[in-house]
Amino acid sequence: MGQTRRKTNSYRVAPVSGSRRSSKFVAYSPYSDPGVACSETSLGEVHNFTHGHWDGGGAWFLNRNVTTLLPESVVGSPAALILGDVRMGSNLTGVVQPALPSQPSDSQAYALGATGIARTEPTNPAFDMSVTLGELMREGIPNAPGHSVMERTKLAKSAGGEYLNVEFGWLPLVRSVKDFATTVNNHDEIIRKYQEGANRVIKRRYEWEPVTAFDYQATGFGAVPANGSFSGGGRYTSTLKKTWLEVEYQYYLPTGGSTNDKIRRFGSYARKLYGVRLTPEVLWNLAPWSWAADWVANTGDVIHNISAIGTDGLVIRNGYIMCHTQRITIDHGRYNGAGPVCYRTVVEESKTRRPATPFGFGLSYDGLSVKQKAILVALGMSKW
């Protein structure tokens, strides 16, 4: 693990200076402004640079605020009041700034991390036979399409029942049949890749859809020094929120030639191909109301991870849920409506990194079971 460090940095940019007077009847006096303050603050556990890439590290966050100014040189304007540089100053009244996207809380980030792990873990079965057979035993074969329309007299009600029959009956069954056929046809390739990945570090990445927004307001801005103003311009604002998961997995596959090793190895093959085992995830998926619960929460993903991580020695070597939020504001205008266009760009951003434990997010070593700790010891990960 790296060392926890706090880093702060601040500086000023685009100073302006020159001379000015309150009217053309008085003498000039010098002016100087140091410019806008920029800052950066980070706190966390830095990465280690090993084997040619950054690895390890713990929780980390960064807040950054950077302003870039393009001053304008002015000679004798307005009415010979300023000799020197000017730049955009305070915003005029009425400017509404779009909000900076918020960072997810710990609980929200851990929920996203659980979903990302469920989507990327390398031992996911190619076909989930246990759930498919369980649903067929409980529900039977769906009615033939059109059956409800022919049997019932109320057409509207029949149409709704027919839609549900197709959407939640036939379509899932057809997908299951296709997945089963694909698994059977490609089982050699699936097992080959599964064997190649065993006892090695497997890197996966999962990204959520970025959230972006754009805004424009026509407005003007004051000037520094306060003689005149910028007009004929406006403000562009773009916001971004990006969340992604980066994780390194490792799982174990017995390679010995003993009967016991062969049985365990073939059992792993069967789980990878067809998911043939009774787990909390199978029981959850067979519950008649679980699909509704998964619409509003990621309970199914959490249960999937509980069922998968630890089986066949599957652990997370390194894992991080990361979020980057950013707001870029660009102001532009002309000093007193004349001269070249001046710009002010403000970039405000926040970055967070939350690490996973070998068995998921939001856990601690003390909360692991004896079996989980034994797996860590066997993989040389007793300290993380």
For residue range 215-272, list pLDDT tens digits in order. 998 888 888 888 778 888 889 999 999 999 999 988 877 776 666 666 666 667 666 6
Question: 217-244: buried (b, 16+ CB within 10 Å) or exposed (e) per residue?
Answer: eebbbebbbebbbbeebebebebebbbb
Q: What is the pLDDT of residue 133?
A: 52
> Which tens digits make up the pLDDT trace of 321-342?
999 999 999 999 888 888 788 8
More confident residue, 24 or 135: 24
> Do 344 and 87 contact (CB within 8 A), yes or no?
yes
Instruction: Report the alpha-carbon distance of residue 287 to residue 294 in Å, rounded.
Output: 12
Does the pLDDT at position 158 exceed 90? no
3-state DSSP percent of the chain in helix, strand and coil, to 5:
35, 35, 30
Return the SS3 of 212.
Answer: strand
How confident is the model over 187-211, as a mean pLDDT? 84
Does the pLDDT at position 278 exceed 60? no
How confident is the model over 93-120, as a mean pLDDT? 87
Instruction: Report the alpha-carbon distance of residue 106 to residue 142 in Å, rounded.
Output: 43
Q: What is the pLDDT of residue 329?
A: 93
336 phi and psi angles, rounded to 5 deg: 55, 30
Instruction: Report the alpha-carbon distance of residue 80 to residue 84 in Å, rounded.
Output: 11
Stretch among 8-12, 37-41, 69-73, 245-249 having the lowest mean pLDDT: 69-73
Which residues touch 65 (CB under 8 Å, ≥6 apart)? 38, 39, 40, 346, 347, 348
More confident residue, 128 or 5: 5
268 CB burial (10 A radius; 0-12, 13-18, 19+): buried
Q: What is the pLDDT of residue 153?
A: 46
More confident residue, 81 or 158: 81
Q: What is the pLDDT of residue 244?
A: 96
More confident residue, 177 or 203: 203
Does the pLDDT at position 315 exceed 80? yes
Q: What is the pLDDT of residue 203?
A: 92
Stretch among 16-30, 318-332, 342-356 having the lowest mean pLDDT: 16-30
CB atoms within 10 A of CB 166: 16
Q: What is the pLDDT of residue 109?
A: 92
Does the pLDDT at position 147 exceed 50? no
How confident is the model over 18-36, as a mean pLDDT? 88
The most confident of the ranges 100-114, 124-138, 151-165 is 100-114
Instruction: Report the alpha-carbon distance of residue 41 to residue 350 in Å, rounded.
Output: 10
More confident residue, 282 or 183: 183
How confident is the model over 69-81, as a mean pLDDT? 73
Residue with tokens 């406006």: 234
Phi-psi region of 146 (alpha: psi -120 to 50; beta: other; left: phi over 0): left
- Residue 86, token pair as written in the block: 């000017």
Contacts 24+ apart (CB under 8 A), 34-38: 35/69, 36/12, 36/67, 36/69, 37/10, 37/11, 37/12, 37/67, 38/10, 38/11, 38/12, 38/13, 38/65, 38/66, 38/67
Does the pLDDT at position 63 exceed 80? yes
> Do 57 and 355 contact (CB within 8 A), yes or no?
yes
Q: What is the pLDDT of residue 310?
A: 64
Which band of pLDDT confidence, cut at 50, 70 and 90, is reported for residue 152?
Answer: very low
Q: What is the pLDDT of residue 190?
A: 74
